Structure 1
């Protein structure tokens, strides 16, 4: 289905929990209010939503959280979605801590691609950012996922002035392994609004200084807005997702589903459409109609560069990754 601006909406990001086993300071610090377990969507409800979404041309799904792997039987949900006729792809975004424990089940369910959030390779800094000393678990998960044949991408946010060591260390992953490393600009939502913003323009300039011969890759890959650069002798590529300095709204192809059953068509605005009543009534026709309404109301663009006009007041963890 196309929205009112002619964009084809074929991708849905589904948050299956607002809980996480880490406490990243810009996303889910201690004290954030989380919903009760009986408030989050059941797997059957999520599958109903996906079935109606597929009828509208949404055939690619990303499972997110919180941390999706803290929810029991996440792999079963992926398998259930893959069994819907018309579904082309189901992928996963995770912090990687639990990935190796569930890797076999996830692959058996059909998972072929995973994004792992990782902002630093420095043990002390990782503990400072996340609140836990789990860097070894994450690195083990990355290695095992690559060995198992999954397409692995690293998602990193540079969110302080002393980023250059982290930047270089993360880039080295792409040098040594067939892993794409992507740098995401901090969005001014929730606690992100008070974090230091390192622009991807600055990171790209830094990349050029360090490696010189970088080549823009024109090939479209994945479902997101990342642009990629190739570096000679690197096994993986370097990507940039620039929400602020590379506004990509004209190509946006997604809507989001929160763990409580609200549809969001843009992260910037507080507007949302609840599916809960329709789901409780088992009214799949109404669910489909509400998805269609959400797509039709998708705004033309965000206004992250005008913080005073942002109407979304929830924390990122309450919306979904």
Structure 2
């Protein structure tokens, strides 16, 4: 089993398959983004080799991210190859939903049941302002189809000061009829622009206080290693969660690695790259010992990791969502 310097078992990897995205969300990336060349990305064969190696050391859950993962050509066959790896028990996907609709039957056929949908507003005009693209209808079509195919859906809402804080209650209201988990996420500094961010103004406590003005919240048990504080609302089919992504209250139980589309491995979202798996594989060097060595130097939490990371934070689309 992979373990870190603080005796935490690592059994979950978030793997970006592309840095490209068809939206330009203001909290995630600059409007004019420069993407890497395709030759710099992990190939399908490299992804499979990487995940086979990690699975042999106890990685059992994989989340596919981007950029927008459905912009990667041949994603469905790649997912089928990942699904076939011994030891991988669950594959989940995070998507913005713009292109996802047509692939939902394929996901269902592969047995991929967990999809996180990024959606920061329920207002079409505001969607355009946040994403700089007019694709709200496509995202809502994807949401409807995910539910119709009975996939487990989490809606990820980044809470931004003076942007969408008036929509906390409308988002929570979705859970009355829909069996979804709406997860409110503190904003983080990974916009690739060096701009200030509002996470410190709307932290998880402020979000919960605002929701309690309208709803009675019942605390639900949180799964081991959960990043969200989960709650039910009496009479609602779904539930809500709040993720202290900037407050980082969950760091003590972190069980994950992040790997970018170009193979950069982060042992913490807030920390620097620890190594590059693509370069190791292409040079024929041993992968697993290098990853274990990086974990042995892992910071205790996101605050300690942040102190090790000099310079302007990267775009989340570069890191991997």
TM (norm. structure 2) is 0.93
Give the aligned partner of residue 67 of structure 2: 66
- How far is the alpha carbon of 1:309 from its aligned partner? 6.5
Q: Is the 8 A contact 1:76 1:109 kept in 2?
A: no
Aligned residue among 199, 206, 209 for 1:202? 206
Q: Secondary structure at the match of 2:213?
A: helix
Task: Determine whether 1:2 maps to 2:6.
Answer: no
Give the aligned partner of residue 79 of structure 2: 78
Give the aligned partner of residue 311 of structure 1: 310
Q: Distance in 1 between matches of 2:298 and 2:150?
A: 36
Q: Secondary structure at the match of 1:300?
A: coil
Residue deviations 1:100-133 (CA, integer Å, cap 9, x gap): 1111122222211100000001111000011111
Residues 144 and 315 (structure 1 numbering): CA distance in 2 closer, same or farther, change over 3 Å? same
- How far is the alpha carbon of 1:288 from its aligned partner? 1.7
Q: Distance in 1 between matches of 2:165 and 2:34?
A: 33
Q: Secondary structure at the match of 1:207?
A: helix
Task: Determine whether 1:260 maps to 2:262.
Answer: yes
Give the aligned partner of residue 251 of structure 2: 249
Give the aligned partner of residue 296 of structure 2: 296
Q: Which runs of 5+ in 1 are unaligned?
A: none
- How far is the alpha carbon of 1:320 from its aligned partner? 0.7
- How far is the alpha carbon of 1:282 from its aligned partner? 4.9
Q: Secondary structure at the match of 1:294?
A: helix
Give the aligned partner of residue 127 of structure 2: 126
Residue deviations 1:208-243 (CA, integer Å, cap 9, x gap): 1111x211001417x641110110011111101102
- How far is the alpha carbon of 1:290 from its aligned partner? 2.1
Name the stretch that deviates more: 87-96 or 273-282. Answer: 273-282
Q: Distance in 2 between matches of 1:100 and 1:192?
A: 33
Name the stretch that deviates more: 306-315 or 136-145. Answer: 306-315
Q: Distance in 1 between matches of 2:208 and 2:222?
A: 18
Residue deviations 1:61-120 (CA, integer Å, cap 9, x gap): 000000000111212121111101111101000001111111112222221110000000
Matches within 5 A, 1:1-321: 1-189=2-190, 190-191=192-193, 194-197=196-199, 198-211=202-215, 213-220=216-223, 224-282=226-284, 286-303=286-303, 310-311=309-310, 313-321=313-321
Q: Is the 8 A contact 1:171 1:181 kept in 2?
A: yes
Q: Is the 8 A contact 2:220 2:231 kept in 1?
A: yes
Q: Secondary structure at the match of 1:276?
A: helix
Q: Is the 8 A contact 1:186 1:192 kept in 2?
A: no
- How far is the alpha carbon of 1:201 from its aligned partner? 0.8
Q: Distance in 2 between matches of 1:307 and 1:277?
A: 24
Q: Which runs of 5+ in 2 are unaligned?
A: none
Q: Secondary structure at the match of 1:298?
A: coil
Q: Secondary structure at the match of 2:176?
A: helix
TM (norm. structure 1) is 0.93
- How far is the alpha carbon of 1:28 from its aligned partner? 2.1
Q: Distance in 2 between matches of 1:248 and 1:77?
A: 31
Q: Is the 8 A contact 1:303 1:309 kept in 2?
A: no
Moved over 6 A (4+): 306-309
Q: Secondary structure at the match of 2:127?
A: helix
Q: Distance in 1 between matches of 2:3 and 2:195?
A: 31
